[in-house]
Each structure stands twice: as C-alpha cells, then as structure tokens.
Amino acid sequence: MKTITVTVNGTSYEESVPERMLLVDFLRDRLALTGTHVGCTYEGVCGACTVHLDGEAVKSCMMLAVQADGHAVTTVEGLAGADGPGPLQRAFSNSHGLQCGFCTPGILMNMSDFLARHPDPSDEEIRSGLVGNLCRCTGYVHIVRAVREAAREMREGASGVQA
Amino acid sequence: MSAVENSADWLGARLARKEDLRLVTGQGRYLADIVLPGMLHAVFVRSEYAHARITGIDTSEAAAMPGVVAIFTGADFKDTVKPMPQPVVKPNLPARYPTFWPLAIEKVKFHGEPVAVVIARDKYVAEDAAECVYVDYEELPVVRDPEQALAADSPLVHEEDGSNEIFAMTLTGGETPEEQAANAAAVEEIFQRADVVVAERFRCHRTGITPMEPRGVLCDWNDSDGLTAWITTQRPHIDRLALSDLLEIPAEQVRVVAPRDQGGGFGVKAPFYRENLAIAYAAKALRRPVRWVESRYESLMNVGQERDQINDLEIAASKDGKLLAVRNRGVADNGVGTTGVYWGFVMPFLGAVELPNAYTWERGDVSLRCATTNKAALTPSRAFGHFPTRFALERAIDMVAHKLDMEPAELRRRNLVPSLPYTSVTGEYYDSGDFVKVWDNLMAQVDLPAFRAEQARAREEGRYLGIGFACGVELSGVASELLVPMENQPGYGAATVRLDPRGKVYVFGGDAPGGQGHETTTAQVVASLFGIRPSDVVVTTGDTGTTPFGSGSIGARAGSYFVSAVAKACAELKDKITRILAHDLQIEASVQHFEFTNGEIIYLGDAAKRKPFTEVVERIIMFPINLPEDEVGGLEHTAFFEAAKPMICFNADCCIVEVDVESGNFSIKRWVTSEDVGTVINPNIVDGQMHGAIVQGLSNAMFEEFVYDEQGQQMSADFEHYKLATAADVPDIEITYAPTPCPHTPLGTRGIGEGRPSSVPGALSNAVCDALRPWGVEITDLPLRPGSVWQKLREARG
C-alpha cells in the first residue's frame, strides 16, 4: 500500500492504495466517479476511460493510481462549468453525438483536449483525433458534427462574437 | 433543438434527447456503476481448450487465499440447478438442443467456456484466485469446420446428440414433403431453361456487433423478497422467467432490472446466458450480493459472434433481365450452441427466410444446415441472421447483371416487388411500403450516367472508380406469428401510461433499450397526443417489478410495437378525459370533438370551452365526484398492440469507391442511402440509427473477424486483434428518405434500424467489383480487405 495525494476535479484526496490499483479503478471504486468507463481489457484501445492528467488526455486504464500521485486529474464529472454543461457537452446533445453514452465520457475528455490544441479543425483532423476512442452506436457521423459545432461555438465565444 | 410552435408538432421534431444530460456529465448509471453493501465480486475460470475432458479441478490454493469467499464448479450445479433447455428459452423449432448447466460438466466444448467461478470480497483478489484454480484437461479432437462437422465420421461436440447437425430446415414451398419435392423440381426446371445462371459459393466470416459495454450481472438475495437481478439485458422479462424456472424460485420472488443506461445491445444482450444463472445461484447460496462484470477478453471469446456461414447460391434469370428463381444451400457454423433462446441457429434460420429480399422471384428453394462446432455459440447481432445471405444475394445479382451486360441498378429496379402486400418465396410477409419509390429516390441522389462518364475518364487516367448498390427488406418489429414459433415468445408491444395529479405522464415499458433514445421518442409521442411537453413525460423501462410484460428490445420493436401500444393507451385515456370533461362542460361531445394542444383541452365546437390539461387530470384523479354515470376516477391504462401480420421497413444503399489496382487498397468516396422508415418521430435519432448501422456493416465487412486457430483457440479476443472501425476508417454518410407511413400502426411509424447493416457488404463489394470490371473480378468472400482484393486481381490478371 502507498499513500498518494491526488487532486481530482479540484478536490484534493489523500488515499492509501495498493500499488497495483489502476487509476480507473481508483476513480470509479474509491472516489465513486463512475462516469469514467472501462470498455476494453485495460489495453488502451477503446478510450472510454480517458481522463485529463494535468490537462492532457490520458487513458486511465493504462496508468496506476500511484502514478497520479502529486498530479491533477479531471474526469467527465469535472467537465461542466458552474453554469452547467459546457459547449462541447451541449454540442454532443444538440448534434445527437451519442446514443448509448458508454464511450461518450472518454470522447468528451479526448476532444476537449483536442479542441484546446486544434481550435479550428477540419473533419479529417477530427476523425484522426478520434482514433483512440471506439464508438459502436453512432457511426461517428454525428460525433464529428458535434465536435465541429463545439469548435465553432468555442471560437465565437473566445472572440466575443457570441457568448 | 428546433423550435416547436405547436405541441402536435413534437412528432417529427429534431429534439435533443432527454437521456443526454446525464450521459454527457458522467451521471449515467450502467451495470458496473451499481454497488450494494457487502457486494462480492465474481470472476469466471474459463476453458483453455476448445474440446477437452475435465479430469480434475483443484480449487484448494485459490480457496485458501485471503478474501476468497467461495468457489463453485460444475459439480455444485449438477444436482441443484435444472439444466437447459427449458421451455422458456427453447424455440418451437425442431432441433437437437444440447443439455448444459451454467458451468462445464465433464467436458469443455469451446475455448472460453466457464468452468468455475470464484467469489471474493475484492475484484483483484477474485482475479488472482481465478489464476490459482487448476484444471486438468485431456484434449479431444477439435470440431472446427462446419462442413466436416456434418460428415458421418466427425467427432461429436455433444456426444449425447449423436450428430453435429443441431438444426436443418428447408423453405421449399409447401408443407408436405410431396409439395416441397414438387416445388424443388419446378425450381430445377426453371434453372434448366433459364438464359442465364449464376452459381457461386459465398462465404461470410465470423463477426458481429460487439457493444461497448460488455455484459454484467448483479444479484441480491433475501428470504422475503427473493432474488433481485440487475442484468445487462435486452429482455428482462424473459430473463426473469428463465431464472425462476431454472433455479426453481417462485416467479413472484424474482425481479430482473435492466439498468436504465446500457452501453449498447445490438442483439448480444438478448440471449439468456449461463453466467447470469451462475451468479444468481451464488448470491442465493451465499446470501450476499454478487456482481460479475465481464471483461472485454471474455466478451470477445463468448459473445457477439454471428454471420459465420457458407452459401451455395444460384440464380436463374432471363436474357431480358427477369429474375426467375433462387436456390440456396446454406451451411452455418453454429458454434457450441449452449445459449438460451437462440442456440446459435435461430439467426441462420431467419437469415434463410429473409434471403429473397425485395425481388419478385417466381420460385425459390432455400435450405439450411447448422453445424455444431467447438467455438462460441453464434449470438444475435444486429442484422439478425441475414448479413451473410443478403451479402450473397446482392453480390449474385450483380453477377447476373454482368452476365447480361446490364446496369446492376437497372436489373434491381426491374425486379423489385412492384406493390405491397406481398409474400416472398420463403413465406415472409411484406405488409406495406413502396420499394420502387425508395429505389427511385436513391437513383435521384446519384446521377448514374454522369458517374459512368466520370468512371470512364478516370480509367483513362489509371484511376478505378466503382459504384455499388444493394437494398434490404427489414423486419419492423417481430409479430407473434413469427416470434412464437421462432423464440416461443409473444411479439405484441405493451405499455402502461399513468397520469399524476400534476398533469405529468409516466410511461412504463417492459423492453430494455441500450441507447436507442426510447425516453425521448416515447415522450415526443405522448407529448404530441396529450398536447403537453416532452419534459412532462417520464419513461421507465426494463424493470420487471414495474413494467408490463415485453419480449424485449429486439427486432426494431420500439418504433413499431412499443410506441403503438403507448399511442393506444394514450387514446384510451383521452377518451376517458374527454368523457368526463364533456360531462363537466355540460355538452354532448366525445374525444373527436376536442383538441389537446399546448397544455389545454379545447372543445372544437366552441373554443371558449377549454380547460388546462393539468386541471382536468387533477380533477379526475383527486376529485372524483360528480362524475358521469358508471365512471370512476383515476387515469392509468395498459395497452397492448399487435399488428395482424408482420410489418417491414425498406432501404437502399449506394456506395462509390476508388480502388488502387496495384495494392488492392480501396477507399469509400461516397455512401448515400434511401430509406422508408414510415412516419418519423425524431429525425436525429433515425439518422443516427442509420449511420451506426451502416458503419457497423462496414466494420464487419472490412475489419472485424473472429479467428480460431487449428486447435480451436480464439485468437482475436482483444480490440488489438478484433478491430472495430475507428472514425478515421469510415466515411461520412448521406441519409435520405422516401417514406410511406405504415398503415398498420396508429401513428404510421415503422420500427427501424435492426436489420439495417445487412445491405452494406453487398453495396460495398459490388462497388469494388464495379471498379475492377476491366478484369472481371467477382468477390465472393468476406471480409473484404485490400489483401483479398489484391489476390483477386492477381488471379484475374493471370
């Protein structure tokens, strides 16, 4: 067992964890943050477990909880602002970018990082940015549309054209 | 969200879904998110061999590990749990149903079969302990090839059955052997005189629709309430009956809850699985909650495997392009078959029934044999059963067109069933719609002469473009007429609609969706009928304790059967509401004299006579005095809907590809569709269903493949080896509509989406073959990959 200090969604936690505990299990089983999902055999292919580590998208099934010691983690539960769901989350609903919703938290975490680095992406860039996330329901068409719409709204918001 | 001015317009509105807020904020509640106090974790020990005798199981080391609570093996079940088959999970189809228990007894019959289950306080400990359960095996010859499995000298998977032929059938016109022989002879006669005959062997690989959320079950037992089981399931009411029958727990002591949020089903969550039984048994025996969450590795070894089939298909046609007769001999690789409800062969059965598709054959002769092998049982996957037969037929039709030197699109149009209703040569009933309208709408999206000109220009530049078409008749719900014989279950839809004194509406349904948006579409239907808002409607599904019986979220039942039951229940309630309102207003009027709109009920004879919906509802529920004679208070109604005959929907696909003739690489340039989905409740949701289904079809056709090696080892049990399409692998998709409202449902809706992937592999491979017409390449096998295209080209070039 090892004691770690991790900031998750702005709250600092000091927890004693087995060294072998995966970060995704720490988030789900210890902190009850069940929005982060497991869709593959901890092989990092499905992307449903994607969270932010110090602002960067990572797959929480590919990390141990002890590796997050001293770092800041954001999960999908921490993605909404004080005013409720943010532009990316709203765009996924408005564009019908989700069906069963199981892959959605990981996609939102990956795409929020992606949009921070690519504020005006082409559809091809969006598709390429999504290769680390599997979705079985949507055929990706509405996901691409949602990311495009979110990018537009975030750009317009940032330039003050439209809040 | 588009602005909806009139509440009647909720039907057809592109409404953002009610489900979305919780799902985009991490507040969904899937099975693995449910935790009970004192809950134990289960891990299955699974067979390492495809076929072997179990000579010993040593659990002592595992049992001694701290935190391990119990270990069960097959011996624990042999005398305490009834084996399957049991009537509730056994179709009314004559077959050799294997006998089996939750865990393997004496023999393992596929790689991945559950042999033991470890129950521990911690899931990591349970996994450690499962590694320390030592099973001794004596290997047996592996039955791997379905045709060899049917040979008289083949080793047997289920020795007691005396044969590996689990199921065989013929759909050869007529009920008696004499009638069938006469039809077969008539078909042969057509082939003898036909101008053109195509006869090919088509192979479809083992693949299916793997949902992103694997299976899982959480069972809780107490002596007064009995068993409560949360199961990832499309059919909670069937699971409940099966658990009751097999564990011999009185039915009133079994409640099954399908979590409100399920990470996709696509058929994979429709069977009754042996793991559910094992976990329920463990929870009862230990009097502790026990949960099993399937790993992806287990999932890919056990479920989501379908399609695996060889079809020897023949088509006879006349020189003027008339399709005359179809003959098919199918052999399905059934796998082990130990899966409740479906047994591996129910899917190929329906696939054979659906073979003739939308064309007017004079006669057909279709038969099927299903062979048990040492592989996981076929489990249902969207496009239930007919992915391989539809691929074969749509491919063969292009081959007929090539022989006739005719445009494949034109050959199809000439042979589409010109008017409905129609009964196919295999006896499938097509109730309504307009195939030609759908087809012509597709062709209006694609300028075929312009494409041919562009194709010719491109060829001169050494670029090879191709266009491919296919179409598909799909079931819109499954009528009792088909579902009772096929699965021993009713097809009707059922819904309870309950109003509360605040004018809110609660809908209860016994099916169990997994992402199709039932909460939203149902709310739109209710809102449009009552003239209220979708936000005033709450939809509950999947809990057998609160919902009327439903056969499950299968076969596109929601848009056909469930919402029709909802509409019927709403109509009954509107009748009662207006009877009492007319009495209160002291007018002679009934429901047709009132409009329900924008939260009001308005008397059409005098618009001044109107009342808020909420006020009238509250009056009937809370103040049931001064009522009309024979009337009582309260507003709740359960309605059942069943169409007299099966219903269908219809679609057509066009695919344009470019093929690199040096490497065999191909890329999809355009995918455009035409759909008859009847009256649309929410276009966003229908678009999304089509996108998803088409990409599933592409992913199945190009990437996914379950591979077993010579020893029957499953080689593709992770997503590195079982590749699903990513966003970068697939094109944008254009969905267009040419709908005909269904005359047999109250709202004109059709259930859609289930069968939709089936026309995809035909359209795709037809496009690739069209691009390679200079070499006459004809694809007959799936998957379709650059390597196989390159190989075909090499053969064709000599």
pLDDT at B216: 98
| Contact call for B124 and A21, based on CB within 8 A | yes
Mean pLDDT along residues B114-137:
98
What's the domain range around B570?
Answer: 492-641
pLDDT at B175: 84
By C-alpha distance, the chain A residue nearest B15 is A94
By C-alpha distance, the chain A residue nearest B725 is A134
Instruction: Kindly state whether residue B450 falls inside one of the protein's structural domains.
Output: yes
Interface test with B, best of A109, A141, A144 (most B CBs within 10 A): A141
d(CA B83, CA B101): 5
Instruction: Dump pLDDT digits (tens) for B619-632.
Output: 999 999 999 999 99
For the cut 50, the answer to whether the pLDDT of residue B675 exceeds it is yes
- Topology given in CATH for the domain delimited by A2-77: Ubiquitin-like (UB roll) (3.10.20)
Q: Enumerate the residues of chain B whose CB falls inside 8 A of the CB of residue A36.
A: 26
Q: In terms of domains, do B621 and B660 share one? A: no
pLDDT at B172: 86
The separation between the first and the last C-alpha atoms of chain B, rounded to the nearest angstrom, is 58
pLDDT at A158: 73
pLDDT at B1: 40
Q: Residue B591 has which token pair?
A: 């429901």
CATH number given to A87-158 = 1.10.150.120
Q: In terms of domains, do B254 and B278 share one? A: yes
Mean pLDDT along residues A62-71:
98
Sign (positive or negative) of CA dihedral B555, B558, B563, B569: positive
d(CA B159, CA B250): 33
pLDDT at B585: 97
Residue A145 touches chain B, beta carbons under 8 Å: no
Q: φ and ψ at B294, to 5 degrees?
A: -65, 135
Q: In terms of domains, do B289 and B329 share one? A: no
Instruction: Dump pLDDT digits (tens) for B602-611.
Output: 999 999 999 9
For B24, the closest of A36, A40, A93 (CB atoms) is: A93
pLDDT-derived band at B487, boundaries 50, 70, 90: confident
Instruction: Kindly state whether residue B195 falls inside one of the protein's structural domains.
Output: no
So where are chain A's domains? 2-77, 87-158
By C-alpha distance, the chain B residue nearest A100 is B515
Residue B352 touches chain A, beta carbons under 8 Å: no
The distance of A31 to chain B (nearest Cα, Å) reads 12
Instruction: Dump pLDDT digits (tens) for A88-137.
Output: 999 999 999 999 999 999 999 999 999 999 999 999 999 999 999 999 99
* Number of cross-chain residue pairs from A and B with Cβ atoms under 8 Å apart: 184
Q: Can you give the pTM of this predicted structure?
A: 0.97
Q: In terms of domains, do B599 and B464 share one? A: no
B328: domain CATH number is 3.30.365.10
Q: In terms of domains, do B407 and B553 share one? A: no
d(CA B719, CA B492): 38
DSSP character string of B317-340: E-TTS-EEEEEEEEEEEEES---B
Mean pLDDT along residues B384-407:
98
Domain boundary among B609, B641, B673: B641
Q: In terms of domains, do B463 and B518 share one? A: no
Integer-rounded Cα Rg, in Å, for chain A is 16
Q: Enumerate the residues of chain A whose CB falls inside 8 A of the CB of residue B685.
A: 96
Q: In terms of domains, do B529 and B677 share one? A: no
Instruction: Dump pLDDT digits (tens) for B187-229.
Output: 999 999 999 999 999 999 999 999 999 999 999 999 999 999 9
H or E stretch covering B315: strand B309-317
pLDDT at B2: 44
| Contact call for A99 and B692, based on CB within 8 A | yes
Q: Enumerate the residues of chain A whose CB falls inside 8 A of the CB of residue B692.
A: 99, 136-139
pLDDT at B163: 97
B239: domain CATH number is 3.90.1170.50
Q: φ and ψ at B286, to 5 degrees?
A: -90, -10
d(CA B563, CA B144): 44
Instruction: Dump pLDDT digits (tens) for A21-61.
Output: 999 999 999 999 999 999 998 889 999 999 999 999 999 99
Nearest to A15 by CA among A50, A77, A74, A66: A66
pLDDT at B268: 98
| Contact call for A134 and B691, based on CB within 8 A | no
Q: Enumerate the residues of chain B whose CB falls inside 8 A of the CB of residue A35.
A: 25-28
Amino acid identity, position B2: S
Instruction: Kindly state whether residue B13 falls inside one of the protein's structural domains.
Output: no
Instruction: Kindly state whether residue B757 falls inside one of the protein's structural domains.
Output: yes
pLDDT-derived band at A160, boundaries 50, 70, 90: low
Residues 85 through 144 of chain A touching chain B, CB cutoff 8 Å: 85, 89, 92-94, 96, 98-105, 108, 123, 126-128, 130-131, 133-144
Instruction: Dump pLDDT digits (tens) for B424-438.
Output: 999 999 999 999 999
Q: In terms of domains, do B771 and B648 share one? A: yes
Mean pLDDT along residues B106-133:
98
pLDDT-derived band at A159, boundaries 50, 70, 90: low
By C-alpha distance, the chain B residue nearest A18 is B124
Lowest mean pLDDT across A112-121, B165-174, B239-248, B735-744:
B165-174
Q: In terms of domains, do B502 and B359 share one? A: no
For the cut 50, the answer to whether the pLDDT of residue A163 exceeds it is no
d(CA A45, CA B743): 46
d(CA A62, CA A46): 11
DSSP B456: H
pLDDT-derived band at B4, boundaries 50, 70, 90: low
Bridge-based pairing state of the strands B165-171 and B68-73: unpaired
d(CA B73, CA B93): 31
Structural domain count of chain B: 3
Amino acid identity, position B434: D
Residue B687 touches chain A, beta carbons under 8 Å: yes
For the cut 80, the answer to whether the pLDDT of residue B7 exceeds it is no
Q: Enumerate the residues of chain A whose CB falls inside 8 A of the CB of residue B17.
A: 93, 96
pLDDT at A81: 86
Q: In terms of domains, do B316 and B282 share one? A: no
Where would I find the H helices in chain A? Answer: 23-25, 87-94, 104-117, 123-129, 141-158
Instruction: Kindly state whether residue B315 falls inside one of the protein's structural domains.
Output: yes
Sign (positive or negative) of CA dihedral B587, B589, B590, B592: negative
Q: In terms of domains, do B469 and B598 share one? A: no
d(CA B780, CA B313): 11
Is ipTM strictly over 0.85? yes
Beta strands in B205-246 (DSSP E): 216-222, 226-231
Residue B429 touches chain A, beta carbons under 8 Å: no
Domain boundary among B641, B674, B703: B641
| Contact call for B30 and A102, based on CB within 8 A | yes
Q: Residue B559 has which token pair?
A: 């848009």
Q: In terms of domains, do B533 and B666 share one? A: no
